[in-house]
Each structure stands twice: as C-alpha cells, then as structure tokens.
Amino acid sequence: MIKRSWIFLFFVLFLFPACSTMDVAGPSQENKFVLLASTIGPIDAGIVGALEEGFEKETGIRVRHVGAGTGAALKMAEKGQFDLVLAHAKSLEEKFVKDGFGTERIPLMYNDFVIVGPAADPAGIKGMKTSAEALRTIAAKKATFISRGDKSGTHVAEMDLWKGAGIQPSGNWYVVYEKGSSGNIPTLRYANEKQVYTVIDRATYLSLKKEINLAILVENDKAMLNFMSLIPVNQAKFPRVNRAGAMQFIHWMTAADKGQIIIRDFGKDKYGAPMFFPNSDAWRKKMGK
C-alpha cells in the first residue's frame, strides 16, 4: 500500500503546486491532513472546496479531495488510500459499509434532481407533476435522452427514476454519453449542445444556467431528492486511515453552527437560491425536524 505521506506529497506537488513541500515534513504530519474521495457534483458546484477551506481555517487540518462518480469514488476508497467518502447513492453506500470498507453512513446535505430539456419541449413534459409521468412520455415519444451511464450517483438516481416509471430504457433515443464519467457539468453541456433531455442535479443546472438554454421542465418531485452522505473509511481494515482527522472533519461539517451553516448559505448570493440544504442529525434536531 502506498504510504499516506507519499499520497499527500502527490497532492502537493501535482495538484497544488503553489504549496511548499516543507509543509509535509516532520513525523507529526501523518495526522495533519485528511484525504477525501468525493462524488464530482459537489466539487464542481464548489461546496466541497468551501467546506475544506472553512475547516482548515478553523483547525489547521488540511483536506484534499479526488473527484469521481460515486461508484468510482467508493472503488477508490476500497483500496484504503482515502480517509473519507462523500457519496450520493444509497444502495452503493450501504454495500460499501456492509462489505466492511466503511463504518457508517452519516447524513450531510441534499438537493434535488430535475428533468431538463429544450425550451420548445417536443415531448410535451413541461409542468408534469412526477418524474415517472415525464419519463414515460419521453420513452413513448422516443425523444432523445442523455444518460451518464457510468454507475455514478447521478446515473444510479436516474435508473431508479426509470424503474419508478416502470421502464427499462433502450433504443436509439436513449443515448449513453461516452464521456459521462467526467461528471454532470460535461454531461449537461453535451445535452445542451444536442438540445435533448436529461436528468441532472439542480446545483449543476444553476451553475451553468447562464451558459446554456435548456430549461427545467419537471421538478419538485420527492422521488428526485438527492441525499448526500459521509462515510468514514474503516480503520480496522486499513490501519493507515486517519480516522481521527476524518471524524473531526465530519463533526465540523455536520455541526449545526459550522459546516451546516456554510451549506445552508452556499450559492444564495450568486444564484439567488441555495444549491444545497443542510441535513445532518444535529441540524434536523436544531430545526425540530
């Protein structure tokens, strides 16, 4: 297994060249950083960076992340080279914990998915109350639909929505984007280029809203809520895992007066609406939920 110090040195030298290599010197450095494997959407939206910056400013502990679809992020963490995972696919998360790679699923935040498409809406789904009705209509009319197709959290959520609609999508109208594993932003840009339908998280849509002309056509369906969890990697399985640092970061992110406030306010000034909503146990208790 690659030592944590070498992993951190890789981050410093290749991902963060402005940092001094002097920062990694000394035997106590082992617990001075946390490595996070994160689903791509929250990274692209900027909330992961905001949480890392706030935590480091308060504690002096550095957090560095690698982004991938939830399935790939969990696979990376199965090698024991990360301390923590941020994911949004319940079934994959539960399997990760059941198989002994993670210790528990800890609620952090949520947003929601929306169905977007051309403003002209050739399938006629605009304003439909449920994703199931909209997806059945898209399939019946064979309107082109773009899927990430990469077993990411977004793809898993999309497939759950098709299942809820009673449809196994297939045919020329159902297109798996060949670069879907690169994330939601490239996928949404591709759907915009082709002027077709897709399922995407609201944060990604808001971040690109001024650059694209696809419209939100179906929203506010409970089936499209997008819950995100933190999973500490199991130190009993991987002794080099920095459990103390990971748990300190988790406690800070889930604290009602710290990370949850950042999540609550993130994006409001720029987009006029929140991109994510707090969902930790401490937050829900504070809000009486």
**Residues in contact with 4: Cβ distance below 8 Å, sequence separation at least 6, in sequence order:** 30, 35, 81, 240, 242
Phi, psi (5° rounding) for residue 249?
-65, -40
* Domains of the chain with CATH codes: 4-110+227-287 (3.40.190.10), 112-224 (3.40.190.10)
| pLDDT score at 53 | 97
pLDDT in tens, 39-84: 999 999 999 999 999 999 999 999 999 999 999 999 999 999 999 9
| pLDDT score at 31 | 60
Q: Is the pLDDT of residue 283 over 80?
A: yes
Query: Largest Cα–Cα distance in the chain?
Result: 63
| pLDDT score at 263 | 98
| pLDDT score at 259 | 98
Considering the chain, what is the average pLDDT of its residues? 90
Mean pLDDT, rounded, for 139-165: 96
pLDDT in tens, 93-148: 999 999 999 999 999 999 999 999 999 999 999 999 999 999 999 999 999 999 99
Confidence of residue 8 (pLDDT cuts 50, 70, 90): very low
**Cα(183)–Cα(40) distance, rounded to whole angstroms?**
6
| pLDDT score at 109 | 98
Confidence of residue 21 (pLDDT cuts 50, 70, 90): very low
Looking up tokens 């994703």 gives: 131
Residues in the chain: 289
pLDDT in tens, 200-233: 999 999 999 999 999 999 999 999 999 999 999 9
Q: Is the pLDDT of residue 191 over 80?
A: yes
**Cα(85)–Cα(46) distance, rounded to whole angstroms?**
16
| pLDDT score at 165 | 98
Query: Using alpha carbons only, how large is the chain's radius of gyration in Å?
Result: 20
Q: Is the pLDDT of residue 10 over 60?
A: no
Return the SS3 of 239.
Answer: coil
Looking up tokens 């959520």 gives: 157
Q: Is the pLDDT of residue 3 over 50?
A: no
Mean pLDDT, rounded, for 223-252: 97
Alpha helix (H) residue ranges in 124-201:
131-140, 153-164, 184-194
DSSP β-ladder status, 277-278 and 106-118: antiparallel
